[in-house]
Amino acid sequence: AQKVTQAQTEISVVEKEDVTLDCVYETRDTTYYLFWYKQPPSGELVFLIRRNSFDEQNEISGRYSWNFQKSTSSFNFTITASQVVDSAVYFCALSEHGNNRLAFGKGNQVVVIP
Amino acid sequence: GAVVSQHPSRVICKSGTSVKIECRSLDFQATTMFWYRQFPKKSLMLMATSNEGSKATYEQGVEKDKFLINHASLTLSTLTVTSAHPEDSSFYICSAADRGGEKLFFGSGTQLSVL
């Protein structure tokens, strides 16, 4: 069974608009880690954030922010005032037991239109 | 920060040949490395966990005789695609965790094309 669900496949926004990417996860573990990665067309995975299951604080890093809600098993990601350079595929991932074996969602293709 | 180097970045080979992909942790020791596979416009699927000094652990459905993994040192894991066929064409990417498992780093990936 898929453990990470990213329902939106492709999202197009006009530059300077905000975009929110949803991530819903499924796990029976009480200790787990959630990740977001950016994959530009070049293919490499760019680390954005790692959050453990005991830390429900929301986080903001520049134009990026994350909303973690254990009650709904969601770890959503928002890009504020999007820029063309934000165009990429964004993956949400889950690691159970902290073992670094990542289960990835299907990814969100974000297209920022100038 | 720590870097994981993956080589080659791109390889084209003939059907039936074997291809070796290297994954190196450059400034940290990695007792565990991971190999993923990504088809075009698809997600990354974990293939196997590479354990230094012992056999790799393969995910269900991954042929261990097809995808040979060797983790002979604390800084190097290799994935060999044996007798490659066109359906093996894919993007392969590795990751490595530092000793404490606190940090996880990905290589830049290898695009394999089998003709």
**pLDDT single digits (tens) A29-72:** 999 999 999 999 888 899 999 999 998 888 899 999 999 999 99
| Tokens found for residue B64 | 């261990």
Alpha carbons within 13 angstroms on the beta-carbon side of residue B61 total 4
Query: pLDDT in tens for each of the 115 residues of chain B?
Result: 568 999 999 999 999 999 999 999 998 888 889 999 998 888 999 999 998 888 899 999 999 999 999 988 889 999 999 999 999 999 999 999 877 777 788 999 999 999 9
B91 Cβ under 8 Å from any chain A Cβ: yes
User: Which three-class secondary structure state does DSSP give residue B88?
Assistant: helix
- Asked if the Cβ–Cβ distance from A107 to B106 is below 8 Å, we say no
Smallest Cα distance from B107 to chain A, Å: 7
- Asked if the Cβ–Cβ distance from B46 to A91 is below 8 Å, we say no
Smallest Cα distance from A16 to chain B, Å: 26
User: Which chain A residues are Cβ-neighbours of B108 within 8 angstroms?
Assistant: 42-44
- Distance, in Å, from the CA atom of B110 to the CA atom of A34, rounded to the nearest integer, reads 25
> Has residue A2 got a pLDDT over 60?
no
- Distance, in Å, from the CA atom of A23 to the CA atom of B79, rounded to the nearest integer, reads 31
Residues of chain A with a CB closer than 8 angstroms to some CB in chain B: 35, 37, 42-45, 47, 50, 91, 95, 98-107, 109
User: Which chain B residues are Cβ-neighbours of A104 within 8 angstroms?
Assistant: 36, 43-45
Contact A20, A42 (CB under 8 A): no
- Distance, in Å, from the CA atom of A42 to the CA atom of A92, rounded to the nearest integer, reads 18
Q: Using CA atoms in the order B48, B44, A45, B106, what is the torsion angle rounded to 10 degrees?
A: 0
Confidence of residue A98 (pLDDT cuts 50, 70, 90): confident
- Its sign, for the CA torsion A58, A33, A63, A86, is negative
pLDDT value at residue B54: 85
Average pLDDT over residues A87-92: 96
